[in-house]
Structure 1
């Protein structure tokens, strides 16, 4: 396995849709990831093993100093190899380079990954389920 990580690289909508469905346990949707990312995101990170999309993370932002990690995804058969942490590390580096001062993430049941492997620290936050 030889992984190539890219910031704001090309996006294969079909590949991201399949990876998203696998990662979040839903049917494969027909989302225009390329258009959505280019309109709403500071950037995104892809990890490719040859031509195969192995991982993905989206970095949304407020247009100022706050960025947000969304949709951290790694192919099921490639998990627990550090790919997710490497994706987030690229996101951290690039958000910092863009002048962001804060990188936020929310999650359920992934404390060891985000707090341990990625270096986030817990904070108090509020949430309304819509």
Structure 2
């Protein structure tokens, strides 16, 4: 049975397994510093296995940011990512954010529109 939980603080092994299953690489060496600085995060579990994740970063004020939306490929196309993002939005609002931002590749625009985001103009500068 799949359940969604707020601030689950998964260990690095669980996050690396999910990252590999979602993105094809292991991701950061440790996710713990990221989780500790977040406004919050949301995880989806099938039993005890982490199968989905969304991080909510913030500026310390009223702006929050969706990062690292991922779902294990075996669980994709079931609406789970939309549920995760919507739960993350509710969490951000409950914790005082007034605005929720997300950046994404053009191919993901239909997904984020389904989640409730509307298009805006933004800028991006590559630093590395």
Per the TM superposition, whether the score is higher than 0.5 is yes
CA contact (8 A) 2:9 2:35 kept: no
The answer to whether residue 72 in structure 2 is matched with residue 57 in structure 1 is no
Structure 1 residue ranges (4+ consecutive) displaced by more than 3 angstroms after TM superposition: none
In the alignment, structure 2 segments of 5+ residues that lack a partner are none
Once residues 49 and 18 of structure 2 are traced to their aligned partners in structure 1, the CA distance between those partners, rounded to angstroms, is 11
TM-score by length of 2: 0.92
- How many aligned residue pairs are there? 126
Give the match for residue 31 of structure 2. 33
Task: Say which SS state the counterpart of residue 85 (structure 2) adopts.
Answer: helix
RMSD of equivalent CA atoms: 1.3
The answer to whether residue 39 in structure 2 is matched with residue 42 in structure 1 is yes
User: Aligned in 2, Cα 1:25/1:123: closer, same or farther, shift over 3 Å?
Assistant: same
TM-score by length of 1: 0.90
- Give the superposition deviation at 1:12: 2.1
Give the match for residue 87 of structure 1. 84
In the alignment, structure 1 segments of 5+ residues that lack a partner are none
Once residues 91 and 6 of structure 1 are traced to their aligned partners in structure 2, the CA distance between those partners, rounded to angstroms, is 10
